[in-house]
Amino acid sequence: MAINVPFDAVEIAASAEARSGWWGTVLDFVRRRPLGAAGGAVVLFLIVVALTANLIAPYNPVQVDFGAMLTRPNAAHWLGTDAFGRDVLTRLIYGSRTALLVGFGAAVVGSTLGAILGVGSAYFGGRIDLYLQRLMDIFIAFPLIILALAIVAILGNTIPNLIAAITIPMIPRCALVIRSTALSIREMPYVDAARAAGFGSARIILRHMCPNVMAPYLIMLTSFLGQAILLESSLSFLGLGVQEPTAAWGLMLRGAAVDFAESAPWMAVFPGLAISLAVFAFNLFGDSLRDALDPKLRTL
């Protein structure tokens, strides 16, 4: 459950070449990076599934059916049922809502706050920079699971609090990366020009520096998406995340799924596959996006 920083995010220059319109960019991306496009397609598919869960799911996700406990996958229940007779496929479909909500929520909030702190830290420099860096060090060194445990114990077990628990360790990691890019941008003539024109710090940071750290920001954002989904599933698996009867992939692997793994392996296999597929797709897409934003360095 470590949170990793994409190692080359720092080196990526903020200049993405201007292309002809939005559609042109998308088509270009699909043609040049089929793997990334496949990842993007899976992500889109997941979003559609999450949005239409109540229409496409064959059963009610929380409907307990003791007549159909631990049913093998068959025509009525394609992926079988769990220990309460709930349809696994249905719960997988509804679980995508939890995963995407927490994934996007944590990644967007975490990388945005991180970016603002990073740019601010680089812009002001001096004392503020020093103190902010030390504060970031503290949060990076602090054990993630304890932070999550404490936040959930203090605030309660809801999805927004879960997002907060996952976001907090992301902020300092993102801030570090953005700061190093922003340090070089601060020396650019246009920032001097803006200062000479008498613009305030807030305006320079938001209008002149933030747009220019877009590339590392997007890279951090996409890499956090998959990691947030993984973290959410781990926390739910531990019983610290989403609570029953809400459908969540990590939660589906908890308890009965492990106890009955031998006699009812479908309960343990499919939710794990869903997590892996989602994170795989997000990473594939994110990696290709990174390559596209930085043609100089072709990595994974």
Partner 1 sequence: MWKYVVKRFFLMIPTLLGVAVLIFVLMRIVPGDIVELRLAGESGSVSVELLKSERARFGLDQPLWKQFATWMWGVVRFDFGTSMWTGASIGEEIKLRFALSLQLAIMATAVGVVIAIPLGVASALKQDSWIDYVARVVSIAGIATPSFWLGILMILVLLVVFKWVPPMVYTPFWVNPWQNLVQLIWPALAVGYRLSAVVTRMTRSAMLEVLREDYIRTARAKGLVETLILKRHAIKNAMLPVLTVTGIEFAFLMGGLVVTEQVFNLNGLGLLFVQAVAHRDYTLTQALVLLVASVFIIVNFFMDITYGWLDPRIRYR
- The nearer residue to partner 1, 85 or 272, going by C-beta atoms, is 272
Under the binding rule (CB under 8 A), the answer on residue 226 touching partner 1 is yes
Q: Which of 141, 196, 197, 202 binds partner 1 (CB under 8 A)?
A: 141
Site for partner 1 in 260-279 (CB under 8 A): 261-262, 265, 268-269, 271-272, 275-279
Q: Which amino acid is at 42?
A: V
Under the binding rule (CB under 8 A), the answer on residue 7 touching partner 1 is yes
- The nearer residue to partner 1, 175 or 268, going by C-beta atoms, is 268
- Please give the backbone phi and psi of residue 248, each rounded to the nearest 5 degrees, phi first: -145, 140
- The nearer residue to partner 1, 196 or 298, going by C-beta atoms, is 298
Site for partner 1 in 143-172 (CB under 8 A): 143-147, 149-150, 153-154
Under the binding rule (CB under 8 A), the answer on residue 280 touching partner 1 is yes
Under the binding rule (CB under 8 A), the answer on residue 287 touching partner 1 is yes
On the CB side of 258, CA atoms within 13 Å amount to 7
CB proximity list for 191: less than 8 A, separation 6 or greater: 185, 204, 208, 209
Write out the two tokens for 296.
């100089």
Write out the two tokens for 184.
């070089």
Cis link prior to 245 (omega < 30° from 0)?
A: yes
Q: Which of 27, 41, 135, 214 binds partner 1 (CB under 8 A)?
A: 135
Question: For helices 126-141 and 88-124, what crossing angle results, to 10°?
Answer: 150
Q: What is the DSSP letter of 206?
A: I
- The nearer residue to partner 1, 27 or 145, going by C-beta atoms, is 145
On whether the CB atoms of residues 239 and 254 are closer than 8 A, the answer is: yes
- Window 228-247: contact mask with partner 1 (x via CB under 8 A): --x--xx--xx---------
User: Coil, strand, or helix at residue 87?
Assistant: strand
Q: Which of 2, 18, 55, 75 binds partner 1 (CB under 8 A)?
A: 2
Piece of the chain touching partner 1 by CB under 8 A; list 16-24, 86-94, 117-125, 135-143: 135-143
Residue with tokens 């949170």: 3
On whether the CB atoms of residues 86 and 184 are closer than 8 A, the answer is: no
- The nearer residue to partner 1, 55 or 154, going by C-beta atoms, is 154
Distance CA 24, CA 118 (A): 32
On whether the CB atoms of residues 108 and 170 are closer than 8 A, the answer is: no
Binding site for partner 1 (CB under 8 A): 1-2, 4, 7-8, 134-135, 137-138, 140-147, 149-150, 153-154, 226, 230, 233-234, 237-238, 250, 253, 257-258, 261-262, 265, 268-269, 271-272, 275-280, 283-284, 287, 297-300
